[in-house]
Amino acid sequence: MKDLQLITLTVNGTEHELVVESRRTLADVLRHDLGYTGTHLGCEHGICGACTVLIDGSPARACLTFGVQADGCSISTVEGLASDGELSDLQRAFSERHALQCGFCTPGFLMLAEAYLAEYPNPSTEEVREVVAANLCRCTGYQGIVEAISDVARSRRESR
Amino acid sequence: MTSLLGDLTVAPPAPVRPRPSPAPPRPASPEPSAVPDTEPPADAPGLPPAPDAGPERSRSVIGSRVPRHEDDRLVRGQGKFVDDVDRPRQAHVRIVRSTVAHARLVAVDVAAARAVPGVVFVLTGADLIGLPPIPIRLPRGDEPPGCLQPVLAHDEVRYVGEPVAAVVAEDPYLAEDAAELVTVEYADLPVVVDASTAEPATGFDVSYGDAEAAFATARHVVEIDVSVGRHAAVPMEPRGLVADYDEATGVLEIWGATKVPVFNRNVIATMLDLPASRVHLHAMDAGGGFGARGEFYPEDLLIPWLARRLRRPVKWAEDRAENLVALNHSRQQRHRIAAAFAVDGTLLALRDHVVHDNGAYLRTHGLLVPELTVTMLPGPYRLPAYAARIDVVLTNKTPCGTYRAPGRYEGTFAREHLLDVAADRIGIDRAEVRRRNLLTPEELPHRRDLRALGTDVVLDAGDYPGLFATALARTRDWATEARQLRERGRTVGLGFAVFLEKSGLGPHETADVTVEQDGEVTVHSGGTSLGQGIETVLAQIAAQRLDIDDRAVHVINGDTNLQPFGVGSWASRSTVVGGSAVDLAATAVLERALQVAARVLGVPAEQVRLTGGCFSAIGEPGRRLSWGDVAGACAPGSPHLRPEDTPGLSARRVFAVDHMTYPYGVHVALVDVDRDTGHVEVLRYLVAYEVGRAINPTLVEGQLIGGVAQGLGGALYESFVYDQQGQPQATTFMDYLMPTAEEVPRRVDTLVTEDAPSPGNPLGVKGAGEGGITAVAAATANAVRDALGLTGDVGALPLSPHRVVALSR
Q: Which member of A47, A82, A104 has the closest CB to residue B81?
A: A104
Which chain B residues contact residue A147 at CB under 8 A?
A: none
**A54 at B interface, C-beta within 8 A:** no
For residue B622, count CB atoms less than 10 angstroms from its CB and return exposed for 0-12, middle for 13-18, buried for 19 or more: exposed
Going through B428-557 in order, the beta strands assigned E by DSSP cover: 446-452, 455-459, 491-500, 508-515, 521-525, 553-557
CA B514 – CA B523 distance, rounded (Å): 7
* CB–CB contact B744 A141 (8 Å): yes
Closest chain B residue to the Cα of A87, Cα to Cα: B76
CA B23 – CA B588 distance, rounded (Å): 20
Enumerate residues 6+ apart whose C-beta is below 8 A from B489: none
Q: Which member of A37, A91, A142 has the closest CB to residue B741?
A: A142
Judge whether residue B53 has pLDDT over 90: no
* CB–CB contact A47 B173 (8 Å): no
- How many Cα atoms occupy the beta-carbon half-sphere of B749 within 13 Å? 17
* CB–CB contact A100 B72 (8 Å): no
Query: Taking the CB of residue B618, how many other CB atoms lie within 10 A of it?
Result: 11
CA B556 – CA B535 distance, rounded (Å): 7
**B81 at A interface, C-beta within 8 A:** yes
pLDDT band at B59 (very low <50, low <70, confident <90, very high): low
Enumerate residues 6+ apart whose C-beta is below 8 A from B775: B409, B412, B413, B416, B497, B498, B499, B665, B666, B667, B711
Residue-level pLDDT at B36: 36
Q: Cβ(B111)–Cβ(B426) under 8 Å?
A: no
The pLDDT tens digits for B529-577 are 899 999 999 999 999 999 999 999 999 999 999 999 999 888 888 899 9
* Class level of CATH domain B82-190+238-285+293-326: alpha beta
Residue-level pLDDT at B14: 38
CA A57 – CA A153 distance, rounded (Å): 18
Q: Cβ(B89)–Cβ(B313) under 8 Å?
A: yes
Closest chain A residue to the Cα of B284, Cα to Cα: A102
pLDDT band at A119 (very low <50, low <70, confident <90, very high): very high
The pLDDT tens digits for B390-409 are 999 999 999 999 999 999 99
Residue-level pLDDT at B182: 98
More confident of the two residues B48 and B492: B492
CA B175 – CA B259 distance, rounded (Å): 28
Q: What is the mean pLDDT of residues B47-54?
A: 38
Q: What is the mean pLDDT of residues B261-271?
A: 96
Query: Taking the CB of residue B807, how many other CB atoms lie within 10 A of it?
Result: 20
Residue-level pLDDT at B768: 93
The full set of domain ranges for chain B reads 21-60+505-656, 82-190+238-285+293-326, 333-504+659-807
Going through B256-403 in order, the beta strands assigned E by DSSP cover: 279-281, 314-317, 333-341, 347-357, 385-393
Is the CATH number 3.30.420.40 carried by domain B333-504+659-807? Answer: no
Judge whether residue B38 has pLDDT over 70: no
The pLDDT tens digits for B468-517 are 999 999 999 999 999 999 999 999 999 999 999 998 888 899 999 999 99
Q: Which of B244, B268, B264, B267 lies closest to B254 in space, CA to CA?
A: B244
Rounded to a whole number of angstroms, the distance from the CA of A3 to the nearest CA of chain B is 13
Q: Choose from A64, A143, A146 for mutation: most chain B CBs within 10 A.
A: A143
Among A33-37, A154-158, B14-18, B746-750, name the one with the lowest average pLDDT.
B14-18
Residue-level pLDDT at B456: 86
**A82 at B interface, C-beta within 8 A:** yes
pLDDT band at B451 (very low <50, low <70, confident <90, very high): confident
* CB–CB contact A103 B285 (8 Å): yes
Length of chain A: 160
3-state secondary structure of B503: strand
Q: Start-end ranges of CATH 3.10.20.30 in chain A?
A: 4-80
A89-159 topology per CATH? DNA polymerase; domain 1 (1.10.150)
More confident of the two residues B19 and B747: B747
Q: Which member of A43, A139, A142 has the closest CB to residue B320?
A: A43
Judge whether residue B444 has pLDDT over 90: yes
**B733 at A interface, C-beta within 8 A:** yes
Closest chain B residue to the Cα of A145, Cα to Cα: B741
**B705 at A interface, C-beta within 8 A:** yes
The pLDDT tens digits for B314-347 are 999 999 999 999 999 999 999 999 999 999 999 9
Residue-level pLDDT at B504: 85
More confident of the two residues A1 and B13: A1
DSSP H or E run through A135: none
Residue-level pLDDT at B222: 98
Q: What is the pTM of this model?
A: 0.93
Which chain A residues contact residue B710 at CB under 8 A?
A: 138, 141
Decide if B21-60+505-656 and B333-504+659-807 have a common fold: yes
Residues 113-152 in B contacting A (C-alpha not used; CB under 8 Å): none
Rounded to a whole number of angstroms, the distance from the CA of A142 to the nearest CA of chain B is 6
Q: What is the mean pLDDT of residues A114-135?
A: 97
Output the average pLDDT for chain B. Answer: 92
The pLDDT tens digits for B399-435 are 999 999 999 999 999 999 999 999 999 999 999 999 9
Residue-level pLDDT at A94: 98
**B319 at A interface, C-beta within 8 A:** yes
Which chain B residues contact residue A37 at CB under 8 A?
A: 77, 81, 83-84
**A20 at B interface, C-beta within 8 A:** no
The pLDDT tens digits for B99-147 are 999 999 999 999 999 999 999 999 999 999 999 999 999 899 999 999 9
Q: What is the mean pLDDT of residues B46-58?
A: 38
Q: Which member of A95, A133, A136 has the closest CB to residue B71?
A: A95
Q: What is the mean pLDDT of residues B443-447?
A: 95
3-state secondary structure of B204: strand
Q: What is the mean pLDDT of residues B21-25?
A: 39
pLDDT band at A1 (very low <50, low <70, confident <90, very high): low
Q: Cβ(B90)–Cβ(B76) under 8 Å?
A: no
The pLDDT tens digits for B656-708 are 988 888 999 999 999 999 999 999 999 999 999 999 999 999 999 999 999 99
CA B369 – CA B408 distance, rounded (Å): 9
**A98 at B interface, C-beta within 8 A:** yes
Residue-level pLDDT at B33: 34
Q: Cβ(B110)–Cβ(B169) under 8 Å?
A: no
Q: Which member of B317, B532, B741 has the closest CB to residue A146?
A: B741
Residue-level pLDDT at B9: 33
* CB–CB contact B71 A100 (8 Å): yes
The pLDDT tens digits for B579-610 are 999 999 999 999 999 999 999 999 999 999 99
* CB–CB contact A39 B77 (8 Å): yes
Rounded to a whole number of angstroms, the distance from the CA of A125 to the nearest CA of chain B is 10
* Class level of CATH domain A4-80: alpha beta
Q: What CATH number belongs to B21-60+505-656?
A: 3.30.365.10
Q: Which member of B77, B319, B746 has the closest CB to residue A44?
A: B319
**B734 at A interface, C-beta within 8 A:** yes
Output the average pLDDT for chain A. Answer: 97
